[in-house]
Homo-oligomer: A and B are copies of this chain.
Amino acid sequence: MNQYSPSCSRCAMQNLCFVHGLHANDLNRLDQLLDHKLSFRKGDVLFNAGDTAQSVYAIRSGLIKLYSTQGEQELIHDFYLLGDLVGLEGLANRQHHYTAKVIEDVQVCAVSFDQLDFISQEIPELNTQLLRLMSQNIVKERQHARVLTHKTAEQKMAEFLIEMIEKLRSRGYDYLQFRLGILHRDVANFLNLTPETISRVLAKFNREGLLSWKKKEVKVMNLTKLYAYSQLTQPHLD
């Protein structure tokens, strides 16, 4: 599951990243686009706001936060992990609007915009795929706006955790116990709360036998109750 293969057509993550939906023939063409796999360490920056954008990054492992700054104010827009695509919004203008910083060591596939542009003219399906990803991004941002504005601290926290859980589940990982190396400060920032509030909510979740998150290790004790807090509907387990 975690094995790396250098070509898209044999890539273990094929279903997760943006090539999903392309035909075998097209995948072979896409292979040529891939720079080699790159590694970054915690604290490294994939790109800064204002940088010229040269490629998009498909995350193979690790964790990245995407944020913008205004004055002193840092605002985290999203976290990316295995199977996610970072930096796509820089494509059209060849300029990044955000900073992508590694918070847990990552391996990424870098895909050059130039080549992507070029080949997407020959593979219409890829173009549609890019537009689809952009659309999904917009929908996601708007959903996040709803969370930020209309949910209580407890709902925000529950929803955030469930998003992580569902991502892990969809990728076949253990989702009842896993490492989550994000600072409370960063979660707080993302959800527009304070670290203190995060701490209090987690203490409550723990007290009520819902879930614990200590020393970067999450243990889910009562998933159903967690869903109840989040107001999301719990999917049927297979």
Contact = CB atoms under 8 A, between A and B. Distances in A.
Contacts of A148: 145, 148-149
B92 A131 contact: yes
Interface stretch (A30-38, A135-143, A168-176, A202-210): A135-143
Contacts of A132: 92-93
> A68, A120, A127, A136 — which one has the most chain B CB atoms within 10 A of its CB?
A127
Interface stretch (A69-77, A99-107, A220-228): A69-77
A146 interface: yes
Copies in the complex: 2
Nearest to A139: B97
A164 interface: no
Given A75-B146, A117-B128, A138-B141, 12 more contacts: A90-B135, A91-B135, A92-B129, A92-B135, A93-B132, A98-B142, A120-B127, A121-B127, A141-B141, A141-B145, A145-B148, A148-B148
Interface of A: 68, 70, 73, 75, 77, 89-93, 97-98, 117, 120-121, 124, 127-139, 141-142, 144-146, 148-150, 192
